[in-house]
Chain A
């Protein structure tokens, strides 16, 4: 399978959980090797979240994830459109996609 590069962006406070880096370009490994147990060959947002949790998420995963999805209150945009328009967790990631996570949860 060809390489899969995506741009991950974090804002609204979500970057605090990811080393305070707002934008990163990452290359995803071959899915069969990374998660052999799920028997799938195409990356969807569901697997991306697992990968992010294992590789990028630095602290308090409960502030970012809930179950196998993101916490309610975190907006996910795929190429600047709401992920609901793309099928949320089931969206098949394409090479070059920009995926943005915006937290709407704030302290006060």
Chain B
């Protein structure tokens, strides 16, 4: 019998990454240490500040809820010093019984949860979130939202939904007087997100989309369980006997699903795939970040136009112009004619490349506030 490699006293029960053996206690300590260390070493939170904690009932979210509650229940110097405000965004396809289970999950721990519909995005003056009850749905907005989403390709839809959620989280964080937001992305999710974001043309935004802190808005989005892998989460859930809700996504083929297959396939045989991807992502950043004056209206990323000599965006546009047989135009890249025939509406003026690409796929107009 082999012993736990940490305490070397008790027989190990959990095998991680096919080689590291832990006992239950050491494993749980290790996971909660990762969570605490992630918050602690970044020194972003101030004492007892309100933090919006976004839950969706899935694996990551269940763990986040558990770790936060455990942290708050401590009575020593390790106590987590935040005031949690739980929040859930109800998706367009979510059924009521699911939402009720999520409310129960929170109520069982004696905490309240704020709820809102994702279709509020379509409305300018958003209704206030409701406590522990499913708020009434604005049918018009709901239908409009569904229509808009169904018009897009699945890859675009996933990307666009992520941006909508981000904006709504920030909006409701302000409403509920929170300066920070916790989201429950694991290192596995983030590795997949990195690969898909790169392929969608969001390379310059990696630092904010994958890193610990997204500070594009004054409300910061933090990812406190970003060092915990899906494998660890599954063990944690079994040991602590938690009941995650089944978040089922329709089987759809998209860039994101292909990226997921790719990462998970590699991870099976090469156990350091995810950590390599995430460590690489951590090292990617933007230079001269403060110089950005223009921000994308949808994702709030800085738009940095004249950084490279020739970008893929210009190449695509140029190719489009040539294909349209505008031979008489001898004007070069960046000229008015390019703006006019650009495949990407509002690019570099109001929108970043990827958001503009999404925008070009929408048939109905969006509240862009231009």
Residues of A near any B CB (own CB < 8 A): 82, 84-87
Contact = CB atoms under 8 A, between A and B. Distances in A.
In the A-B complex, the 10 residue pairs with the smallest Cβ-Cβ separation, listed nearest first, are A87-B253, A84-B258, A85-B253, A86-B253, A85-B258, A85-B255, A85-B254, A84-B253, A85-B155, A84-B261
Nearest to B261: A84
B349 to A, nearest CB: 29
Nearest to A86: B253
B330 to A, nearest CB: 30
Most A CB atoms within 10 A — which of B155, B253, B254?
B253
Give the dominant DSSP class at A's interface: helix
A73 B338 CA distance: 38
Give the dominant DSSP class at B's interface: helix
Nearest to B262: A84
A76 to B, nearest CB: 14
Nearest to A84: B258
B21 to A, nearest CB: 36
Nearest to A90: B253
A85 B254 CA distance: 5
Interface residues of B, number: 6
A87 B261 CA distance: 12
A86 B258 CA distance: 10
Contacts of B258: 82, 84-85
Contacts of B155: 85
B198 to A, nearest CB: 16
A85 B258 CA distance: 7
A69 to B, nearest CB: 15
A87 B251 CA distance: 10
A87 B258 CA distance: 9
Given A84-B253, A86-B253, 6 more contacts: A82-B258, A84-B258, A84-B261, A85-B253, A85-B254, A85-B258
B221 to A, nearest CB: 29
11 contacts: A82-B258, A84-B253, A84-B258, A84-B261, A85-B155, A85-B253, A85-B254, A85-B255, A85-B258, A86-B253, A87-B253
Interface string B128-165: 00000000000000000000000000010000000000
Contacts of B253: 84-87
B320 to A, nearest CB: 15
A85 B200 CA distance: 13
Interface string B252-280: 01110010010000000000000000000
Contacts of A86: 253
A103 B155 CA distance: 27
A58 B334 CA distance: 50
Contacts of B261: 84
A86 B155 CA distance: 11
Contacts of A85: 155, 253-255, 258
B265 to A, nearest CB: 12
A84 B253 CA distance: 8
Contacts of A82: 258
Nearest to A85: B253
Nearest to B252: A87
Nearest to B254: A85
A82 B258 CA distance: 10
A27 B254 CA distance: 29
Nearest to A87: B253
A24 to B, nearest CB: 25
A1 to B, nearest CB: 24
Nearest to A91: B253
A28 B255 CA distance: 29
A1 B258 CA distance: 32
Interface string B169-189: 000000000000000000000
Contacts of B254: 85
A86 B254 CA distance: 8
A83 to B, nearest CB: 9
A10 B261 CA distance: 27
Contacts of B255: 85
A85 B253 CA distance: 5
A86 B153 CA distance: 11
A85 B158 CA distance: 14
